[in-house]
Amino acid sequence: MPHINVDENLPGIRALMAFRPETAAPMNELAEILLRDNEGLSRTDRELIGAFVSYRNDCFYCHTSHGEIACHYLGGDRALVEQVKKDYNAAPVSGKLKALLHLAGKVQVSGKAVTKEDIAEAKAAGATDRDIHDTVLIAAAFCMFNRYVDGLAANAPDDMDSYPLRAKQVAENGYGSHIYLGKQPVGS
């Protein structure tokens, strides 16, 4: 049960964004830039970083939602997404992504936990300054999004079939007002 009076038919962050559209607009703009940029990191890697940080923050709605978006980009490889969230070092992903997930994990704990050695390892694995910048900002933003969702006890759908349907909408249409105002898809 949400801590404030929101539309309980809208799940997760969507109900909170509908409650305050004026704060939702810049948050969605940031998500659009960070998660759908076509330079540097792939959209898949960006969503995996968000899902990983959300998993570490124990934010069910966010790690499930963004995990499903990554899964959509991966052609349905849910096992890979789950492995990245739980043990990215054992996942069949690039050394660069592993180094960036390591950075994201450090940011999830504290920005000050990131060391010069962590940055050097990411660069040695092929990460550019932009990759590092975007990873740190994605991780920091997801800490905010996760605390927003969980701090207000937003509803998370129990219908696991709805997450892939919403993921498809986000992958095809991006982040924006249609995300929080559109009807939640229902599974079959």
pLDDT tens for 13-72 read: 999 999 999 999 999 999 999 999 989 999 999 999 999 999 999 999 999 999 999 999
Residue 114 lies in a domain: yes
Residue 120 lies in a domain: yes
- How far apart (Å, rounded) are the C-alpha atoms in residues 133 and 136? 5
Residue 141 belongs to domain spanning: 42-171
- According to DSSP, residue 128 is labeled -
Q: Is 96 within 8 Å of 126 (Cβ atoms)?
A: yes
Residue 124 lies in a domain: yes
pLDDT tens for 165-184 read: 989 989 999 997 555 555 55
- Residue 47, both tokens: 């969503």
pLDDT for residue 185 is more than 90:
no
pLDDT tens for 2-12 read: 999 999 888 89
Residue 36 lies in a domain: no
State the average pLDDT over residues 86-109: 98
Cα 138 to Cα 43, 144, 145, 147: the distances in Å are: 12, 10, 10, 14
- How far apart (Å, rounded) are the C-alpha atoms in residues 85 and 53? 8
Which CATH number do you get for residue 98?
1.20.1290.10
- How far apart (Å, rounded) are the C-alpha atoms in residues 101 and 48? 9
The phi and psi torsions of 79 (rounded to 5 degrees) equal -60, -40
- Residue 86, both tokens: 């739980």
Residue 15 lies in a domain: no
pLDDT for residue 136 is more than 90:
yes
- How far apart (Å, rounded) are the C-alpha atoms in residues 82 and 80? 5
Residue 131 lies in a domain: yes
Residue 32 lies in a domain: no
The phi and psi torsions of 74 (rounded to 5 degrees) equal -90, 10
- How far apart (Å, rounded) are the C-alpha atoms in residues 114 and 107? 7
Residue 167 lies in a domain: yes
Q: How many domains does the chain have?
A: 1
pLDDT for residue 127 is more than 60:
yes
Q: Is 132 within 8 Å of 121 (Cβ atoms)?
A: no
Model-level pTM? 0.93
